[in-house]
Amino acid sequence: MAVFPSRVQLPVELVDIIIKLSIPTACRSRNTPERRESLAFLQACSLVCRSWAACSQPLIFSEITLYAKDALVSHSQNLERIHDLHALVRVNPHLLHHVRHLNLQITKSCEKGLGESWMSKDPYFLDILKLLHSKKRLLGLRLHGTRSRVQWKIHMHRLTDPGTLKQFILPMITRLEILWIEVPQDFLHNHPNLKQLLLCEISFFDLEPPSAGSSRSRQVVSNAPSRALFPASFFSEVNRPGQNSRTPQAHNPATQIHSLTYHSLPEQVYRTLFKEDNPYKLDLRSLRCIKTDSSALANRELLSSLLDEKEQPPPIEELILLKRGEVYMDVWTQFISLAPAPHLRHLEMDLFLDRSTLRDPLQEVIGVLKTISDKHSLQELKITAYVDIIESRSANIFSGRRSRLYRLQWTQLREQLLRLKFRLALSAYLDVHLDMAYVATENEIKMREKEFLKGIKHDFRGFVVSPFLSGGLADDASSEGNLNTPIVEVTHRMVNGDHIRGSPAQW
């Protein structure tokens, strides 16, 4: 009778690979429903044996979220979660060693006068911050309000006690996300380790000028946590020799942002972040990545700030310009021209070209491509252009003078794409998506449409053309290619004239 070992010991590295491959990629993203669903799977893995627990715990505790289910209810639910977490980490302090991201929902209970502010007065929460600070492993902080799922209404609440976070959390994180809340004007100031910043529909309050040093210092002190809630050893661990933790650092370097993402910010926030004469202005000299789908006002303010750095323009490597609604082509062109050619590697543009705001949408795309073609260092280029070419008589789109005009523009567009193809690096990936929406009611337009698309296919020979129509126009040899082959996707859609004015998602 053969004797088998009672237990098979798998290498920890193999167990780690098995667990990670068992979780879908979407579940690894932070702050997503998929990730929350994967926690049950990870918890089950942690109960198998010690080696599986050692591999599961870093994934389970990589992100901690403290929030109340409803911003309008009592904050007792939130406190209960905090107390449970505190009891767990006090028994197992090594668990906080795995925490990389902290999510805090700013609810109604955080505002003074509407209930006790647990962020500055709850000793359990402050003790968790003490442990996180001692581990020095936290990388990201996400502060967000609440948003109605029915009406998409934002419940804007104030972060009235920022001293705790500014003193013990912000100095060590590298990524900060702020969504749907009000924060003090100096909340983003003097954090030299902060490199990635995401701002979405926020506002500033308490706009006192920093010249009033004494009053401002007293206000910061009042927002700082009370020493009565901490042992004396806590402040001795945090303080540097000869420094007082309760007073702001007077000579800290400005916050140098490497990656900036912003959306739907009021004018007051733009001026605070980008205006040269503002004492809380961000240091953009090291900016490498810009991602925005905000208004033209914000983009112009940012552009003016970048143009002020004439001696040393920021080394922008990634530029993602996503825009819905009216297009301000001069802003896009200036952004592209601003990025120095030796640095820019990734460029992504999302344009909604409407005949109501642009006289000639296709010509606008051609103009943008001319500007892009001067960037020799691009490794990846993606352009999504939603072209609205509504005509009073649909048949005129594909016949007569209008058809010849569009064919001429398509030919010019092909010339610019060919220029890009030969100017970019051999490994560059060019993805151009042209979505032409129009109104069509006559049956005979189908044949004219097919002939028109065949002409486009001929104009773009050498590219992979993937039309939206199910007529099989992309089934020949020219539609075969690999990942490094430039792709031109021409999409034609017949839509209802009443809905054409909406966003591309409605098409």
Q: How far is CA 420 from CA 373, 374, 379, 416, 423, in A?
A: 5, 8, 11, 6, 5
363-386 pLDDT per residue, tens: 766 777 777 777 666 777 777 766
Q: Which two tokens stand for residue 325?
A: 């609604």
pLDDT at 227 over 60: no
Query: What pLDDT is attached to residue 198?
Result: 94
Looking at residue 141, its pLDDT comes to: 94
Q: How far apart are CA 504 and CA 500, in angstroms?
A: 8
Q: Are 143 and 177 in contact (CB under 8 A)?
A: yes
- Using pLDDT thresholds of 50, 70 and 90, give the confidence band for residue 197: very high
List helix spans (H) across 224-289: 232-238, 267-274
Q: Each residue of 99-112: pLDDT tens digit?
A: 999 988 876 655 44
Instruction: Report the chain's C-alpha Rg in angstroms.
Output: 28
Query: pTM of the predicted model, to two decimals?
Result: 0.74
Question: Highest mean pLDDT range out of 99-108, 136-145, 147-156, 457-466?
Answer: 136-145
The gap between the terminal CA atoms of the chain, to the nearest Å, is 70
Specify the residue for token string 């990730």.
35
pLDDT over 90 at 199, yes or no: yes
Q: Distance between CA 161 and CA 382 in Å, rounded?
A: 43
CA–CA distance, 329 with 363 (Å, rounded to integer): 11
pLDDT reported for residue 353 = 63
Is the pLDDT at 61 greater than 50? The verdict is yes
- The span from the CA of 316 to the CA of 337, in Å, is 11
Answer yes or no: are the C-beta atoms of 326 and 353 closer than 8 Å.
no
**CB-CB neighbours of 167 under 10 Å:** 19
Identify which of 333-347, 360-374, 383-397 has the greatest average pLDDT.
333-347
Q: Report the range of poorest mean pLDDT among 179-188, 336-345, 410-419, 454-463.
A: 454-463
For residue 179, what are the CA distances in angstroms to 191, 300, 358, 390, 443?
19, 22, 33, 37, 49
Question: Which of 28-37, 202-211, 232-241, 280-289 is the least confident region?
Answer: 232-241
| Contact in structure between 71 and 107 (CB atoms under 8 Å) | yes
β 175-179/140-144 pair status: parallel
- In this prediction, residues 291-316 reach a mean pLDDT of 74
pLDDT: which is higher, 209 or 405 = 405
For the chain, how many residues are written? 507
Concatenated DSSP letters of 461-505: TTSEE--SSTT-TT-SGGG---TTS-EEEEEEEE--TTTTTS-GG
Under the banding of pLDDT at 50, 70 and 90, the label for residue 142 is: very high
User: By the 8 A CB rule, do 237 and 134 touch?
Assistant: yes
For residue 179, the cross-strand partners are 144, 200
Among the listed ranges 4-8, 224-228, 343-347, 493-497, which one has the minimum average pLDDT value? 224-228
